[in-house]
Structure 1
Amino acid sequence: MKSHPVFLILRAQFWFIPGVYGLMSILFAIFSIYLDFTFHFNWLPNALLVNLALAQTLLSTIVSSLLTMTTISFSTIMVVLTTYLSQFSPRTMQDFITDVYTQRILGVFIGGFVYSLVLLLLLRDSNHEQLFISPTVAVLYAIICVGYFVFFVHHVGRWIQVSNLIHHITRSTIESIHENYEEAEDQPADEPWKDWESEDVKLVDPYHIHSYVSGYLLVVELDELIKQAKDDDVIVKIEVGVGDYIEVGTIILSIWGERDKIDPSDYVKKLHVAEERATIQDIDFGLTKLVEISLRALSPGINDPNTAISGIRALARILTVLARKNLHRSYYNDSYQSLRVIVKQRQFKDYLYKCYYQIRQPGTEDVSVLAAIIDSLQTIAAQNDQQVKETIWEFSKYIQEGIKKEEMLDLDRTYLNEKLQKLAIQTNQGSHFIPM
């Protein structure tokens, strides 16, 4: 089931899961103290019952301990973020912050702290001498928090490894592709509405809607936009792309139809803008992070070609999936097959260029990185149709143009020629292959 865009935006916020845990802990603390004050547990052994003074001491100890663990966890998170900032890319920091396990661990710590603190507040003037539920749950919660703290140390140890970061970015980007793009074979090659309606609207001046805020376009509620356009009997063109930075006053929508029926707020609220980019519908952002990790690894200060190779292989995995999607669909119609929304889409070759054009220049200085680029193109071509294969082969010529052949040693040239020959065979261009 497809999640609502508003929920996805909330879920991406760092405070969301810890806030939910904190709120639930307050309610659970009130419920626990209600059970203790309502029911009598005289039938239990005295060893399991706790008097008021001992309960307050116990809860005070738990509160201070959980606060310490929470402080250490936040300090550890800052260390990880500093490492990401200096070693990988500033844009990768949100991957660790928005990770569900990171937020859940902090949520457990905050929930335990809030639960014990609320109990202390409710028990301070109590005349109830024997308690069972509240202190027992607090002790069990503290034990669970210790287990989560051990898990958090292990979790940080994994996330500090660049291979795990690359895997996470790749997986989330591929999931976003599957969520937002349809398979190419599921859609007809010809878009019938492109023949007349899209050309017909060019003869009429549209009504422009401007942005009221500045920020990155995170999510477009396409289904809701189609529904609104159907209700108003208009055609809407989205003038900006997901991931673009929008300034106040920028034209974001063009609408063809009766202006008296149009309420701009009905359309603007379908486009969600935020201060930071996120890989919800923004496929480019995931690709950008992998490119930046690879570039940082190839910088003279770090000089880690193996990390760059891992990033290039991850890009190949994403592009392999992306090439099988219907990237060319720009026209969306309603249930009556009337054109309602027009969006600007890029072709596969645009994504291909975006992924490699920055890596190409420093990559040509290292034979292993250059070979990884050629291998990645071969991987993409192997799992796609002839049209993609031809695009890959044409793009490989661009890569070859940047190679300094006159400065290359014989063994390196032979090694790369073997790679290029395999790519030519894979793209059905073996007869056109000319060794360097």
Structure 2
Amino acid sequence: MSLLSVAAFIYYIHHVAQSIRAVVILTRIGKEARASLEQMYPEGLGEDTEEAHTQRPQGHPSLVIPSAGNSGVLVAVDEQQLLTCAQEARITLALVPMMGDFVPHGSPLFEVWGDGACLNAKHLQEALQIAPERTIHQDTAFGFRQLVDIAERALSPGINDPTTAVQAIDQLHDLLRRMVRQRFPAPARRDETGALRMICPRPSWDSYVRLALDEVRQYGEGSIQVTRRLRSLLEDLLQVAPAFRREELERQLALLEARSAIRRGEQPPDTLGRVRGPAAGAPRRSAEGSPRPSTH
């Protein structure tokens, strides 16, 4: 009996030691993010020629419904229930926070265009799940966030582990390659008459690319290993990306080459000036939801 106990203890110690290895954690996060991707982007490969955009109704909303519950992070949305509520009230309903956003008590939760007198605010709020922290189930961007965080920690001066950062980039590369030709669900939902009934904000392809690469590029610019891996990622994606998804990849590659040239004491390539980025100072919505000023 004592031998069995010792063997079980040794196995337990070995299992724990293996489970906290960086590569095991990164692989698990990548697997969870891929499962979320398959659930949230189920249409498969498509022939889209442009990103899905939604024209919001003209004018200011007639009603803004604030969050009435506890503060927390938006982790799940029942879009069908929201659509049903909007159809029954014959209004256009827009969800304000994006998946993964923190929702303070009393902050705007929904915007309404039309007569919202018949709208049941309680039913709307029941269609949302607010939790203390983000989860990856409906929030694919959270998988990206975790991978980027691990890469950043690995590249911090106190750790200086570019190999782990590259392993995180490997997982980001796999996710982006799966997404690059994927159809992104449109933010708008319409009824059978074609009337706009609901708008749910979603991350764009560009915002996923920025989330995956901006911070890693900044933290890893002094590492030849990381810079080389990022260049390989971008060159590979440019080989398979449709035309309407190449611009952000080209911008990222130009930024990478410019920083590398500066570190070598050389003049940055003039390709950087020809790559159009987000308008200077214009707010943009990241894959993590919150409107953020452009950093480039």
* CA-CA distance at 1:357 after TM superposition: 1.4
Verify the 8 A CA contact 1:317 1:380 in the aligned structure 2.
no
- 1:250 aligned to 2:107? yes
Q: Flag the 1:188–1:307 CA change in 2: closer, same or farther, 3 A.
A: closer
The amino acid that maps onto 2:67 is: S
1:164 is aligned, of 24, 27, 39, to 24
* CA-CA distance at 1:314 after TM superposition: 0.9
Partner of 1:380: 237
Partner of 1:285: 142
Structure of greater Rg? 1
Partner of 2:122: 265
Q: Flag the 1:158–1:336 CA change in 2: closer, same or farther, 3 A.
A: farther
Identity fraction in percent = 23
- Matches of 1:190 and 1:289 in 2, distance apart? 26
Q: Flag the 1:188–1:254 CA change in 2: closer, same or farther, 3 A.
A: farther
For each residue in 1:371-412, what CA deviation from the matched residue of structure 2 results, as whole angstroms up to 9, or x when unmatched? Answer: 011111123233332333343223211112222446379xxx
Partner of 2:92: 235
- Matches of 1:190 and 1:349 in 2, distance apart? 10
* CA-CA distance at 1:331 after TM superposition: 0.8
1:302 is aligned, of 149, 153, 159, to 159
SS, match of residue 58 in structure 2? helix
Normalising by structure 2, report the TM-score: 0.78
Partner of 2:290: none
Query: How big is the alpha-carbon RMSD for the aligned residues of Structure 1 and Structure 2?
Result: 3.1
Normalising by structure 1, report the TM-score: 0.54
Partner of 1:333: 190
Relative to its length, the structure with more helix (as a share) is: 1
- Matches of 1:282 and 1:263 in 2, distance apart? 26
- Matches of 2:241 and 2:48 in 1, distance apart? 17
Q: Flag the 1:223–1:188 CA change in 2: closer, same or farther, 3 A.
A: farther
Which structure's relative contact order is higher, taking Cα pairs within 8 Å and 6+ residues apart? Answer: 2
Verify the 8 A CA contact 1:360 1:402 in the aligned structure 2.
no
Q: Flag the 1:290–1:240 CA change in 2: closer, same or farther, 3 A.
A: same
- Matches of 1:190 and 1:356 in 2, distance apart? 20
Partner of 1:395: 252
Verify the 8 A CA contact 2:50 2:244 in the aligned structure 1.
no
SS, match of residue 341 in structure 1? strand
Aligned residues: 263
* CA-CA distance at 1:166 after TM superposition: 0.5
SS, match of residue 171 in structure 2? helix
Partner of 2:168: 311
Partner of 2:83: 226
Verify the 8 A CA contact 1:227 1:334 in the aligned structure 2.
no
Q: Flag the 1:304–1:204 CA change in 2: closer, same or farther, 3 A.
A: closer
Relative to its length, the structure with more strand (as a share) is: 2
Q: Flag the 1:204–1:373 CA change in 2: closer, same or farther, 3 A.
A: closer
Q: Gapped runs of 5+ residues in structure 2?
A: 270-296
Q: Flag the 1:158–1:190 CA change in 2: closer, same or farther, 3 A.
A: closer
For each residue in 1:130-188, what CA deviation from the matched residue of structure 2 results, as whole angstroms up to 9, or x when unmatched? Answer: xxxxxxxxxxxxx9x99998875554233111111101101111111110123462779
The amino acid that maps onto 1:206 is: S
- Matches of 2:206 and 2:48 in 1, distance apart? 20
For each residue in 1:16-64, what CA deviation from the matched residue of structure 2 results, as whole angstroms up to 9, or x when unmatched? Answer: xxxxxxxxxxxxxxxxxxxxxxxxxxxxxxxxxxxxxxxxxxxxxxxxx
Verify the 8 A CA contact 1:316 1:379 in the aligned structure 2.
no
Q: Gapped runs of 5+ residues in structure 1?
A: 1-142, 410-416, 418-436
The amino acid that maps onto 1:407 is: R
